Amino acid sequence: MSFKTSNVLKVYAIAVITTAIAFTSHAQTWESTSTAKQKAAKQISQKQSAIKSWRDHLQKWGLDSNYNHALAVGGKLNTDGWSGFAYYQKRDNNTSCHFFQLSFSEIKHEKQVKQQKGNTAFPELGAASPYVFGKINNLYTLQLGYGKEYLLLPGLLEGNMSVSLRVQAGASMAMLKPYYLKLIYVNYDSAGQHATMQEEKYSEQNKEKFLNTSFILGASNWTKSLSEITYVPGAFADLGIAIEPLKNKNFIKTITIGGNFAFYSKELAIMAENKAYPWQANFYVGLSMGKRWK
C-alpha cells in the first residue's frame, strides 16, 4: 500500500470517528431533553394531584351535611356600647344559609363619662350618686334582620374551623329614654338657706342647673323614665365575618367581627352639648353559642 493511500485511510477513519462522536452527543442531548420534559410533566401532574387532594380534604372535613338548622344566643362589644342577640339559621346548601336575627343594644356617646362627687354642702339631702354630666337621654336600639351567610374557607386546621361572610339588613327601632338628675334647689329666707332636691330631665327651663355640677346630686334610678320613652323607626345593614371552631359539632361557638350602620327618621340626641345625628354606626366583636339539629 502506498504512502498516499495510507494517508487517505487515516483521514477517512478520523472523519468516521468524529461523526460517530457528534451523533452520540446529539443523541444524549435529545435523550436529556426528553427526560427533562417527562420530569416536568410528572411534577405538574403531582402538583395538580396535590391541589385536588387538598380541595377534597377541605370539602370532606369542612362541609357538614349532618345539620340543617341552628339556634344561638350571644353578645357583642361595640365601639359605642354593647349588644345582646339571638338568631335562627337554616342551611340552603353546602356553602350558604339564611338566618333571622333579633338584637338589643345600648348606645353610648363617645363623650360621656361617669363621675361622682361627695355631698358635703347639703348632707340633709342624702349621699351623692354617680352620673354622666351633660347626658339627656339613654339610647337603646332593637333590630330585627334577615341575612345570608356564605362559606369562604370551609375547613381550616384539619376541619376544626370555618370562616364565613355574613350580610344582613332589616328594621331598627331606636328608643330614647330621658335621663333624670337629682338637682339641688336652695331657697333663702329670714331663717337662712334651705336646700331641696328634685328629680328632673333636661329642658330649656332647667338647663342652667342641669349643666352645672354645683347643683347636681347624682343620677336618678334607671326606672324613673320608662314611661317616657320616645320611639324612632329606622333601618339597618350589617356586614361581618363569622369564625366557627368545631364546625362539625352540634354545639355552636361562633366569633363574629364586623360593622353595623343604621339610619333613623330623626336625630338621636344623647348629650346636651354635642350635635345629634339621625344615624348610628359601629364596629363590633361578638361571641355566640347554641345548638344545631337535623
d(CA 220, CA 231) in angstroms, rounded, equals 21
Residue 294: pLDDT band with limits 50, 70, 90: confident
Which pLDDT does position 153 carry in this prediction?
Answer: 81
Angle at 215 between CA 214 and CA 220, to 5 degrees: 125
Which pLDDT does position 61 carry in this prediction?
Answer: 43
Which pLDDT does position 180 carry in this prediction?
Answer: 97
Query: Is pLDDT of 65 > 70?
Result: no
CATH architecture of 69-293: Beta Barrel (2.40)
Query: Is pLDDT of 63 > 50?
Result: no
Return the C-alpha cell found at 110.
363617645
Lowest mean pLDDT among 40-54, 93-107, 246-260: 40-54
pTM, full prediction? 0.75
Each residue's pLDDT tens digit, 226-270: 999 999 999 999 999 999 886 656 788 899 999 999 999 999 999
- What residues contact residue 135 under an 8 Å CB cut-off, 6+ apart? 109, 112, 179, 270, 271, 272
Mean pLDDT of 279-292: 95
- Quick one: what percent of the chain has pLDDT higher than 70? 77
Give the closest residue to 242 by CA, choosing from 256, 223, 226, 227. 256
